[in-house]
Amino acid sequence: MASVIDRAPLQIAISSAGNSPVLARKLRTLLETLVPSAYGRLAALAGRFRDASKRRYPDPEARRRFWEEVMDGPVAEMVLSGRERDAIDALQGKLDSGTDNKPPAGYVYLVGGGPGNPELLTLRALRVMQSASVVLYDHLVAPAIVDLVRRDAERIYVGKQASNHALPQQDINALMVRLAKEGKRVVRLKGGDPFIFGRGGEEIETLAANGVSFEVVPGITAACGAGAFAGIPLTHRDYAHSCVFVTGHLKDGSIDLDWDALARPMQTVVIYMGVHGLAMLGKQLIAHGLAARTPAALVEKATLPGQRVVAGTLATIADLAASENVRPPALLIVGEVVALRDKLAWYQPGRLEAAPRAENTPNPA
Ligand code: SAH
């Protein structure tokens, strides 16, 4: 029995001729991740135009070149990104016009790189990172993730720390438009999900206004990464029926949030960028009705080997953050679900650091 990878009408069969079905299955798993699921639809598109291509290019050599261009070019890319109607139009246009002498159209992928752990990238993110000609990335994108970008791609750090913008937002937007118009495949790599507190919307608005094609690749947002890796389910039938993500960005020393909406029972609140305003956050939530003993946890460097969870209550979390010296990136999770981590915390990084050799280490005490 062969293991089969089904991308109908495409099929890949793997057989070990009975020698090792387990090895054949392992190989199948490997190939499953390498072959995009949309290859089946790409094959179907080719099938649909097969007769037309024979009429247009009776010479088999010319026809092969035509199809190679299709499979390596924008038409295939459109199918992979789900723009099938555009792909059909483009393929028809290419058949009608013979060759396309137009320079290749640039393209921007707005990619969510997730919370930092490279294993949490989506397959789509990895694929587009490996086909990029240029990558623009923020400071929140972990180096291990930037390392996965195609080797010869140009890497541009565009930064963005609260006070230290490496490039102002308008310049980033303008740079993406310029690179795309030069025909580049631009990957705009952002931490977490690009549409969650990531200004992804603003960036693609500029692209749309300038007629640049783009695709958005979602990522695991920090709240989901932190919840999973800290053993805190963000919703739970017994403790939280809703979950709100807010940003605790300071505005004139105060935080502008709808406190009544946040201080609700049976709700989890996740606050991004909350490290500086913790004391005020705790006070406001208590003033608006949450119990002072409501569990609260700060998750620092979520999903990374350096992850740390500092847990307390709404009343104590600000002092704990100071005494434990919690540093960004960190986020705050507030709600009864936080207490579940006593039972559910499973991620214990840092146990396998290379131990310093006794003879050259000073007394650790
Ligand atoms: N678009 C991103 C959020 C950008 S805002 C996303 O979807 O995750 C930046 C804030 O996200 C940080 O200040 C911090 O609160 C949070 N954050 C991002 N990565 C984090 C991580 N690995 N651990 C904890 N918090 C993180």
Whether residue 328 has its Cβ less than 6 Å from ligand 1: yes
Specify the pTM. 0.84
User: CB of 330 closer than 6 A to ligand 1?
Assistant: yes
Task: Please indicate whether residue 160 is annotated as part of the active site.
Answer: yes
Q: Please indicate whether residue 273, judged by its CB atom, sits closer than 6 Å to ligand 1.
A: yes
Asked if residue 116 has its Cβ within 6 Å of ligand 1, the reply is: yes
Ligand 1 centre to CA of 158 (Å) is 17
Is pLDDT above 90 for 72?
Answer: no
Q: Which helix (H) or strand (E) holds 6?
A: strand 3-7
**Pocket flag, ligand 1, residue 329 (CB < 6 Å):** yes
Does the pLDDT of residue 162 top 60, yes or no? no
What is the distance in angstroms between the CA of the first residue and the CA of the last residue of the chain? 61
Which residue among 94, 96, 102, 160 is the active-site one?
160
Task: Give the three-state DSSP class for 331.
Answer: strand
Alpha helices in 73-158 (DSSP H): 74-80, 84-97, 123-129, 143-146
Contact assessment for residue 270 and residue 248, using Cβ atoms and an 8 Å cutoff: no
Give, using CA atoms, the residue closest to atom 18 of ligand 1.
222
Domains and CATH numbers, the chain: 1-8+23-99 (no CATH), 103-220 (3.40.1010.10), 223-344 (3.30.950.10)
Tell me whether residue 96 is one of the annotated catalytic residues: no
Q: Which two tokens stand for residue 30?
A: 């490997």
Q: What is the β-pairing status of strands 295-300 and 330-334?
A: antiparallel
| Least confident window among 33-37, 177-181, 194-198, 204-208 | 33-37
pLDDT in tens, 20-46: 999 999 999 999 888 998 999 999 999
What is the pLDDT at residue 364? Answer: 46
Top mutation candidate among 117, 140, 304 for ligand 1, by most atoms within 8 Å of CB: 140
Residue whose Cα lies nearest atom 2 of ligand 1: it is 192
Question: What is the C-alpha to C-alpha distance for residues 108 and 134, in angstroms, rounded to an integer?
Answer: 10
Ligand 1 pocket test, candidate residues 331, 332, 347, most atoms within 8 A of CB: 331
Which is the catalytic residue, given 94, 138, 184, 301?
138
pLDDT at 355 (0 to 100): 61
* Any atom of ligand 1 within 6 Å of the Cβ of 120: no
272 lines ligand 1 (CB under 6 A): yes
Q: What is the pLDDT at residue 68?
A: 87
Say how many Å lie between the CA of residue 196 and the centre of ligand 1: 9
- The dihedral formed by the CA atoms of 318, 320, 325 and 331, expressed in degrees to the nearest 10: -60
